Amino acid sequence: MKSAFVILKYLVLISLLAVTLFYLQKTGNLDKITNYLEDAKLNLFAIKVSADNSGRGSIKEDSKFLSVNVSICTADLKKVDSTYGSTTVVVVDSNSDHQCFLKIKGGKDKPQESGGLSKRCKVPIELKTVWFEKNDYGFDISSINQYCKG
């Protein structure tokens, strides 16, 4: 009798969770919550990277360009401020398929687009270094767009 009650309790909890997720998806709030959690993870990652790397990361910046050395692919994070907001690039890690994982968030991919840029990229490490030209919207990622989703 007690185990039937426990099973019933878990079924009710699972049903409530499913209804909540369905409601959040229908109202568009699920994306907002997901973005909030991703931003929180990026902030924690930034704290860890700044403590670990102190200038030894994969990302370099000058006045016109941002470069990412995908061949070394060490964890790094860089926020680029621009006229219309800011864009953040995060070097997450590499994998056994010889790819460097990047997350790019904020700014706009193209000036005519509404909303922000949110891409996840798997860039082949054979490219060595990828360059992004800075602009009023952050930076131009067209050089790696073929490796990105989102």
User: Do residues 78 and 144 both lie within one domain?
Assistant: yes
Say if strands 65-69 and 129-135 run parallel, antiparallel, or are unpaired.
Answer: antiparallel
Report how many domains make up the chain: 2
Q: Measured on CA atoms in the order 141, 145, 149, 150, is the torsion positive or negative?
A: positive
User: Do residues 67 and 110 both lie within one domain?
Assistant: yes
User: Do residues 124 and 63 both lie within one domain?
Assistant: yes
Q: 138-149: per-residue pLDDT in tens?
A: 888 889 999 998
- For the record, the structure tokens of 101 come out as 């994982």
Q: 88-113: per-residue pLDDT in tens?
A: 888 887 777 889 989 888 865 454 45
pLDDT for 89 equals 85
- The interaxial angle of helices 2-27 and 29-52, nearest 10 deg, is 90
Q: 116 φ, ψ to 5°?
A: -100, 170
- Model pTM score: 0.61
Q: 52-94: per-residue pLDDT in tens?
A: 555 567 888 888 888 999 998 888 888 888 887 788 888 887 7
Which domain range does residue 23 map to? 2-48
